[in-house]
């Protein structure tokens, strides 16, 4: 190893310039160090630093220019939400602000806003009744939809309505059950099976409903306890059976026990049309407790005969809440009823054709807010008007 190092050193020494031999000079005659040489060294150092700073500044400037000319890209960020998607239960994270992009794609300063956390409380099931105060413009159907119930469940529980949705009045307080069904006061001889059979319900549903607070290890109910019967039902009073109408003849759809006289024969309907100018439903639709539809109509709007027939009732007054009412027997088993009229343009036992103006919409009887209450019956029983007229 040492001979190799020695040979390398000898090779490089060949190119080493020998120092120029200076003549010996006495100390007295030795030249002094030149200050001009020192100044050259200092000037070189200053120039080197200046050049370095210029290069660094140029690099920084070019970097900033490059970044400012690049297009702005954004990443979509979920904004705070209140769990608007049903069933997801997700809540967005609040953001402090986002950049605003101008017309030319330039980035403007974002507008910062105060962080505000949004807490979403999931809707909890109800196990007890709720009190609802009726407001002007409310209808049984809209109240039932608000609480996700059937309208008949509200009628079952609120006996002050007397099974008639038109008995709603502003300011009235309704008991809204937690689920579809009815309340029942338990009696001493009752069993879960007998009560379930009475209201067409299921015994286990009564026992397991949390609102009834029944001990599942020893299920029993004290007499006098108000018990919720989930899915229970009872017969509602058929108010239309109270109307005293004239009979057109045998097997025509009117008459029977309530007939006071007979109008005889007449034209027979071959089809049916819509009885009002508007096709919108306002208030209540067809269902148990409301055996017709409430059609949107302003006070005084014309009401048309849905089909050819004989007028078997044209009577003003209360009429069990129907107000001023017209009934037409169409001679083919069908009967139509037009209620809450402000005016009646026909008389009993007179023939009418389809489209004849039989009266004007109004707000008479058990009603608040002008509309047309329209019913269709066949063989004395109500059916959904949408099955006949469109």
Identify the CATH number of the domain in which residue 285 sits. 2.70.70.10
The 10 Å CB-count burial string (b at 16+, else e) for 117-128 is eeeeeeeeeeee
Within this chain, do residues 210 and 259 fall inside the same structural domain, yes or no? Answer: no
Please give the residue that has the higher pLDDT: either 44 or 172.
172
What is the total count of domains within the chain? Answer: 2
Residue 61 maps to a domain: no
* DSSP labels, 200-246: T--HHHHHH-GGG---TTS----TT-EEEEET---PPP-GGGG----
Within this chain, do residues 278 and 154 fall inside the same structural domain, yes or no? Answer: no
User: What pLDDT is stored for residue 46 in this prediction?
Assistant: 77
SS3 211: helix
User: What pLDDT is stored for residue 54 in this prediction?
Assistant: 86
Within this chain, do residues 265 and 200 fall inside the same structural domain, yes or no? Answer: no
Mean pLDDT of all residues in 24-38: 53
Residue 43 maps to a domain: no
User: What pLDDT is stored for residue 328 in this prediction?
Assistant: 93
Within this chain, do residues 212 and 285 fall inside the same structural domain, yes or no? Answer: no
Within this chain, do residues 270 and 379 fall inside the same structural domain, yes or no? Answer: yes
Domain-terminating residue out of 203, 230, 257: 230
Of the listed ranges 5-14, 127-136, 228-237, 301-310, the one predicted with least confidence:
5-14
CB 186 within 8 A of CB 227: yes
Within this chain, do residues 255 and 383 fall inside the same structural domain, yes or no? Answer: yes
Note the pLDDT tens digit of each residue in 44-93.
Answer: 777 888 888 888 888 888 888 777 777 655 555 455 544 444 444 444 44
Mean pLDDT of all residues in 110-133: 75
Domain-terminating residue out of 183, 213, 230: 230
User: Left, alpha or beta for 384 (phi > 0: left; psi -120 to 50: alpha)?
Assistant: beta
- Residues forming a β-bridge with 377: 335, 382
Note the pLDDT tens digit of each residue in 247-263.
Answer: 666 555 554 444 555 77
- Non-local CB neighbours of 123 within 8 Å, separated by 6+ positions: none
CB 357 within 8 A of CB 335: no
Please determine, for residue 147, whether its predicted confidence score (pLDDT) is greater than 90: yes
SS3 155: helix
Please determine, for residue 17, whether its predicted confidence score (pLDDT) is greater than 50: yes
Confidence of residue 365 (pLDDT cuts 50, 70, 90): confident
Residue 48 maps to a domain: no
Within this chain, do residues 181 and 318 fall inside the same structural domain, yes or no? Answer: no
Within this chain, do residues 250 and 332 fall inside the same structural domain, yes or no? Answer: yes
Of all residues in the chain, the percent with pLDDT exceeding 70 is 69
Within this chain, do residues 244 and 217 fall inside the same structural domain, yes or no? Answer: no
Mean pLDDT of all residues in 277-305: 87
- Domain with 331, as residue range(s), is 239-387
Q: How far apart are CA 281 and CA 274, in angstroms?
A: 12
Helices (H) and strands (E) in the chain, counts: 6, 15
Residue 370 maps to a domain: yes
The first and second tokens of residue 259, run together, are 């007939």
Within this chain, do residues 223 and 252 fall inside the same structural domain, yes or no? Answer: no
Statement: the pTM of the whole predicted model exceeds 0.75: no
Q: How far apart are CA 381 and CA 238, in angstroms?
A: 10
Please determine, for residue 194, whether its predicted confidence score (pLDDT) is greater than 80: yes
The first and second tokens of residue 349, run together, are 């036992």
Given the DSSP bridges, would you call strands 107-108 and 381-383 parallel, antiparallel or unpaired?
Answer: unpaired
* DSSP labels, 100-114: EE-TTSPEEPP----
Domain-terminating residue out of 180, 198, 230: 230
Q: How far apart are CA 274 and CA 377, in angstroms?
A: 15
Mean pLDDT of all residues in 317-327: 88
- Non-local CB neighbours of 155 within 8 Å, separated by 6+ positions: 140, 161, 163, 164, 165, 236, 288, 289
The enclosing domain of 201 has a CATH number of 3.10.350.10
Residue 261 maps to a domain: yes
The candidate with the shortest Cα–Cα distance to 314, out of 306, 304, 303, 325, is 325
Within this chain, do residues 212 and 253 fall inside the same structural domain, yes or no? Answer: no
Q: Which segments of 170-222 are extended strands (E)?
A: 173-176, 181-185
Angle at CA 39, nearest 5°, toward 36 and 44?
130
Within this chain, do residues 222 and 339 fall inside the same structural domain, yes or no? Answer: no
Please give the residue that has the higher pLDDT: either 161 or 241.
161
Of the listed ranges 18-22, 137-141, 178-182, the one predicted with least confidence:
18-22
User: What pLDDT is stored for residue 85 in this prediction?
Assistant: 45
User: What pLDDT is stored for residue 153 in this prediction?
Assistant: 93
Residue 214 maps to a domain: yes
Whole-number average pLDDT of the chain: 79
User: What pLDDT is stored for residue 92 in this prediction?
Assistant: 47
Residue 345 maps to a domain: yes
User: What pLDDT is stored for residue 215 in this prediction?
Assistant: 94
Residue 5 maps to a domain: no
């Amino acid at each position: 190893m040492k001979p190799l190092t020695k040979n390398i050193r000898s090779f490089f020494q060949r190119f080493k310039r020998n120092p120029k031999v200076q003549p010996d000079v006495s100390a007295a005659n030795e030249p002094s160090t030149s200050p001009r040489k020192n100044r050259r060294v200092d000037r070189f150092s200053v120039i080197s630093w200046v050049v370095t700073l210029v290069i660094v500044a140029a690099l920084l400037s070019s970097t900033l220019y490059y970044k400012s000319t690049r297009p702005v890209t954004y990443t979509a960020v979920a904004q705070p939400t209140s769990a608007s998607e049903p069933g997801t239960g997700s809540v967005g994270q609040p953001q402090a602000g986002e950049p605003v992009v101008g017309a030319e794609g330039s980035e403007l300063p974002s507008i910062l806003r105060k962080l505000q956390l949004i807490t979403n409380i999931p809707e909890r099931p109800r196990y007890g009744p709720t009190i609802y105060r009726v407001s002007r413009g409310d209808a049984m159907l809209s109240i039932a939809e608000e609480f996700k119930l059937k309208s008949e469940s509200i009628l079952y529980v609120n006996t002050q309505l007397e099974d008639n949705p038109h008995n709603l009045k502003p300011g009235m307080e309704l008991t809204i059950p937690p689920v579809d069904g009815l309340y029942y006061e338990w009696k001493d001889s009752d069993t879960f099976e007998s009560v379930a059979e009475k209201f067409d319900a299921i015994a286990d549903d009564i026992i397991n409903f949390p609102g009834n607070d029944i001990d599942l290890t020893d299920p029993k109910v004290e007499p006098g306890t108000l018990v919720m019967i989930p899915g229970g039902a009872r017969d509602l009073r058929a108010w239309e059976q109270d109307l005293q109408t004239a009979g057109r003849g045998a097997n025509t759809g009117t008459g029977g026990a309530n007939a006071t006289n007979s109008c005889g024969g007449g034209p027979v309907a071959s089809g049916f049309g819509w009885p009002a100018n508007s096709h919108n439903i306002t208030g209540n639709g067809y269902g148990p407790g409301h055996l017709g539809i409430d059609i949107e109509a302003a006070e005084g709007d014309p009401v048309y005969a849905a089909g050819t027939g004989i007028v078997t009732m044209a009577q003003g007054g209360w009429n069990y809440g129907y107000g001023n009412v017209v009934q037409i027997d169409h001679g083919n088993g069908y009967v139509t009823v037009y209620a809450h009229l402000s005016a009646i343009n026909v008389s009993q036992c007179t023939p009418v054709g389809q489209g004849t103006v039989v009266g004007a919409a109004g707000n008479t009887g058990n009603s608040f807010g002008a509309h047309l209450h329209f019913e269709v019956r066949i063989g004395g029983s109500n059916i959904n008007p949408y099955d006949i007229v469109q």
